[in-house]
Amino acid sequence: MKVTVFGIGYVGLVQAAVLAEVGHEVVCVDVDQNKVDNLEKGLIPIYEPGLTPLVNANFEQGRIKFTTDAERGVDHGEMLFIAVGTPPDEDGSADLKYVQAVATTIATYMQSHKIIINKSTVPVGTADKVIATVSDTLKSLNKEFTFDVVSNPEFLKEGAAVNDCMRPDRIILGTQSAKAEKKLRELYSPFNRNHDKIIVMDVRSAELTKYAANCMLATKISFMNELANLAELFGADIENVRKGIGSDPRIGYQFIYPGCGYGGSCFPKDVQALVRSATGVGYTAKILEAVEAVNYRQKEKLFDYIMSHYQGDVKGKTIALWGLSFKPNTDDMREASSRVLMERLWEHGAIVQAYDPEAMEETQRIYGSRADLRLMGTKEATLSGSSCLVICTEWQAFRAPDFEMIKTHVADQVIFDGRNLFEPSLISEYGLHYYAIGRGLSVKAQQSASISS
Ligand code: UDX
């Protein structure tokens, strides 16, 4: 089938690549000529496992094409995906200007019936706005064509995006058009094996489903972070509590890992956007407001531990930092906890010596060259001359470090772990201080630090 994807970002590119992989003919349209040129040379703008070979193989076989020519894109596809960004506005609500711009473009060039599919995460009611924009534009151009607007939200996770797209656990179709449903069922049939994963519903419910999924997951995390903070104060160990509650299948083990807060392009933005949308209909979304507030506070957690350990003075200290991306297997730094930590440390005169397996270039791009940021080639290199070690991201490569080496090179022999990678008893065998999130030993370490001072 002929498909066009507007927006070659994370969602658009992965979706386009997997559609091409199963045999559909895909044209990707983006306004960024540089991005298009690079993709044609095989240079993929994001780091995502498995994506580069998938895109390049399909490009070589002519099943995926890249262009800035929107007219060509509209002409090509009977199904037109909108996968452009919906960045937060100043007040946290989703900014729909890119979505609306694509809707106008589609109406401007369409010469036949089109199925317009919204993949971007958009507030409830956006499909109606897209319908209005397309209708108004068609009318102003004296064109009379029919079209459908479908909500088909994406649930991929960064770092596992290709697999999530290839093997979706559900495919949500928000449409009441039998014609559009039939076409989309055909489009997705290669992904709809074993059992029917397609759930058809009205368009507003589909739009809300996307926010509901992300907000539920963010709620689980903030809930656990709140409990972790309580566990610390009660002298309990959140890791035991986590295992204890996760064994109940109604709760489950997933997304109950406490840590230094959630980041990424989805959870922070989507929680905020739903809070703002709720306000727009005269409702205060109290749970979601709390989810956001708890996460905001949790991102300060490592900095608080460090300040408490050093009695509020980190000026001139060199802090080794492992992990910059918001989670492993991505170079994405959006809303990463590491950023909050680094910025706080810099405000207080510390020097950060950091390493990340993938996000070094991105860090450099965001912060540029500055004397208080040293990007090191290996995790070991960050340790030399450091006072303490901080871990912000749970990359596999950080899970079994050489603790003797840490003890030798980290002057104050202390680890601040924002992802609870180690057993506190193991760390103390090496004679290291260990602060983790919601674990009893963090409290003990804090107490012994203040007693010794
Ligand atoms: C998320 C959703 O999982 C995905 O379904 C949706 O389509 C987009 O948003 P993503 O942002 O890629 O995906 O990352 P995810 O793996 O969900 O992690 C988000 C953040 O939560 C990370 O910062 C991670 O470290 C944190 N997290 C996750 C926790 O702190 N604890 C957990 O138990 C799980």
pLDDT for residue 366 = 97
- Each residue's pLDDT tens digit, 399-419: 999 999 999 999 999 999 999
Q: H/E/C letters for each residue in the chain? A: CEEEEECCCHHHHHHHHHHHHCCCEEEEECCCHHHHHHHHCCCCCCCCCCHHHHHHHHHHCCCEEEECCHHHHHHHCCEEEECCCCCECCCCCECCHHHHHHHHHHHHHCCCCEEEEECCCCCCCHHHHHHHHHHHHHHHCCCCCCEEEEECCCCCCCCCHHHHHHCCCCEEEECCCHHHHHHHHHHHHHHCCCCCCEEEECHHHHHHHHHHHHHHHHHHHHHHHHHHHHHHHHCCCHHHHHHHHHCCCCCCCCCCCCCCCCCCCCHHHHHHHHHHHHHHCCCCCHHHHHHHHHHHHHCCHHHHHHHHHCCCCCCCCEEEEECCCCCCCCCCCCCCHHHHHHHHHHHCCCEEEEECCCCHHHHHHHHCCCCCEEECCCCHHHHCCCCEEEECCCCHHHCCCCHHHHHHHCCCCEEEECCCCCCHHHHHHCCCEEECCCCHHHHHHHHHHHHHC
Question: For every one of its 453 residues, what pLDDT tens digit does the chain have, with 9 covering 90 and above?
Answer: 999 999 999 899 999 999 999 999 999 999 999 999 999 999 999 888 999 999 999 999 999 999 999 999 999 999 999 999 988 888 878 899 999 999 999 999 999 999 999 998 899 999 999 999 999 999 999 999 999 999 999 999 888 999 999 999 999 999 999 999 999 999 999 999 889 999 999 999 999 999 999 999 999 999 999 999 999 999 999 999 999 999 999 999 999 999 999 999 899 999 999 999 999 999 999 999 999 999 999 999 999 999 999 999 999 999 999 999 999 999 999 999 999 999 999 999 999 999 999 999 999 999 999 999 999 999 999 999 999 999 999 999 999 999 999 999 999 999 999 999 999 989 989 999 999 999 975 545 545 555 554
Residue ID of nearest Cα to ligand 1 atom 34:
255
Both structure tokens of 27: 């044209």
| Cα atoms in the 13 Å half-sphere on the side-chain side of 243 | 4
Residue ID of nearest Cα to ligand 1 atom 17:
157
- Cα separation, 224 vs 241, in Å, equals 10
Task: For ligand 1, say whether the CB of 270 is within 6 Å of any of its atoms.
Answer: no
pLDDT for residue 450 = 52
- Cα separation, 258 vs 164, in Å, equals 24
Q: What distance in angstroms lies between residue 157's CA and the mean position of ligand 1's atoms?
A: 7
- Cα separation, 57 vs 383, in Å, equals 41
- Each residue's pLDDT tens digit, 95-147: 999 999 999 999 999 999 999 999 988 999 999 999 999 999 999 999 999 99
Among 217, 335, 421, the mutation site with the greatest number of ligand 1 atoms within 8 A of its Cβ is 217
Task: For ligand 1, say whether the CB of 266 is within 6 Å of any of its atoms.
Answer: yes
Q: Which residues are catalytic?
A: 266
Task: For ligand 1, say whether the CB of 158 is within 6 Å of any of its atoms.
Answer: yes
Task: For ligand 1, say whether the CB of 305 is within 6 Å of any of its atoms.
Answer: no
Residues 66, 38, 82, CA angle at the centre, nearest 5°?
40
pLDDT for residue 453 = 47
- The residues near 427 (Cβ < 8 Å, ≥ 6 apart) are 403, 415, 433, 434, 441
Residue 452: C-alpha distances to residues 74, 171, 304 (Å)? 70, 58, 18
Q: Would you say how long the chain is, in residues?
A: 453
Binding-site entries for NAD(+): 30, 35, 86, 121, 158, 269, 334
Q: Are 225 and 238 in contact (CB under 8 A)?
A: no
Domains of the chain: 2-201 (3.40.50.720), 211-297 (1.10.1040.10), 299-452 (3.40.50.720)
Residue 335 CA, closest ligand 1 atom number: 23
pLDDT for residue 60 = 97
pLDDT for residue 442 = 54
The CA-based diameter of the chain, rounded to the nearest angstrom, is 80
Alpha-carbon torsion (21, 23, 24, 27), positive or negative:
positive
- Cα separation, 25 vs 395, in Å, equals 36
Rg (CA), the chain: 24
Both structure tokens of 44: 């993929």
How much is the ipTM here?
0.94
Task: For ligand 1, say whether the CB of 161 is within 6 Å of any of its atoms.
Answer: no
